[in-house]
């Protein structure tokens, strides 16, 4: 009798909650089933993974370029690659004439040419930092640990000659620079570095 009354009371509680609650209640039919909201969440998560983590990153591969979606032959102004290319074109247009003049100029006359001399003082900083600072130091004073292999470029002592031609020849001499320097720089950059060292560091 008591069991029957308990069942009747439980049924009454279920009826009061209504049909909408039974639909989403895992225990409404006394069956351990996964709720509908859980399936909806899992489905949306799977769609998000496919779209955002797989399709979206593959757009540049599908379009065949990284310059911007939908512009195969150009680049959008807001992309970093486009900004870099525009800046490189501007830089080449400015320094191109100076590099041509420098390549055809005689070494001894470069230091006396005010325009070329000023260009070299700015343009040679980057190649000097990339190729020379590691051994000769930022100011050309060298490092005490490797003084015998990388002497100071800022004093009056020049083991291989202190004129521009001597400096350029020592830069391009594999016996003097056995660290692959001669394979990393061309004729123009050797001239640029020679003039820079001659003007700024000696």
pLDDT in tens, 44-95: 998 888 888 877 777 766 665 555 444 445 565 556 677 787 888 888 898 8
Lowest mean pLDDT among 121-125, 133-137, 146-150: 146-150
CA–CA distance from 192 to each of 4, 27, 109, 113, 171 (Å)?
A: 102, 83, 13, 14, 11
Average pLDDT value over all residues in the chain? 77
Tokens 């540049």: give the residue.
60
Residue ranges and CATH numbers for the domains of the chain are 2-57 (no CATH), 105-201 (1.10.760.10)
Quick check: 83 and 68 in contact, CB under 8 A? no
DSSP state string for the chain: -HHHHHHHHHHHHHHHH-HHHHHH-TTTTT-----HHHHHHHHHHHHHIIIIIIITTTHHHHHT-SS-TT-TTS--TTSHHHHHHHHHHHHHHHHHHHHHHHHHS-HHHHTT-HHHHHHHHHHTHHHHHHHTHHHH-TTS---GGGTTTS--SSSS--TT-SSHHHHHHHHT-TTT-TTTHHHH--HHHHHHHHHHIIIII-
The contacts of residue 95 (CB under 8 Å, 6+ apart) are 119, 123
Tell me the percentage of the chain whose pLDDT exceeds 90.
8
pLDDT per residue over 164-178, tens digit each? 899 999 999 988 887
Nearest to 164 by CA among 127, 129, 193: 193
Kindly state the average pLDDT of the residues 180-197: 88
Q: What pLDDT score was predicted for residue 70? A: 47
Kindly state the average pLDDT of the residues 31-37: 74
- Measured at the CA of 31, the angle between CA 27 and CA 32, to 5 degrees, comes to 80
In angstroms, the CA 29 to CA 125 distance is 79
**What pTM does this model have?**
0.58
Q: Is the pLDDT of residue 162 over 80?
A: yes
């Amino acid at each position: 009798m008591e069991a029957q009354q308990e069942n009747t009371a439980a049924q009454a509680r279920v009826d009061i909650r209504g049909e909408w609650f039974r639909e989403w209640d895992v225990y409404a039919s006394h069956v351990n089933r996964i709720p509908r909201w859980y399936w909806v969440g899992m489905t949306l998560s799977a769609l998000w993974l496919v779209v955002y983590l797989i399709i979206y990153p593959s757009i540049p591969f599908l379009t065949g370029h990284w310059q911007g979606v939908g512009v195969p032959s150009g680049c959008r102004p807001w992309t970093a690659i486009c900004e870099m290319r525009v800046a490189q074109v501007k830089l080449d247009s400015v320094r191109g004439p100076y590099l041509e003049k420098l390549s055809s100029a005689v070494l001894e006359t470069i230091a006396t040419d005010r325009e070329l001399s000023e260009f070299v003082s700015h343009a040679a900083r980057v190649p000097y930092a990339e190729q020379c600072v590691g051994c000769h130091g930022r100011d050309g004073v060298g490092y005490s640990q490797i003084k015998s292999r990388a002497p100071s470029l800022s004093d009056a002592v020049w083991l291989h000659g202190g004129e521009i031609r001597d400096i350029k020849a020592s830069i391009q001499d594999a016996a003097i620079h056995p660290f692959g320097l001669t394979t990393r720089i061309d004729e123009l950059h050797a001239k640029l570095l020679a003039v820079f060292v001659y003007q700024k560091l000696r």
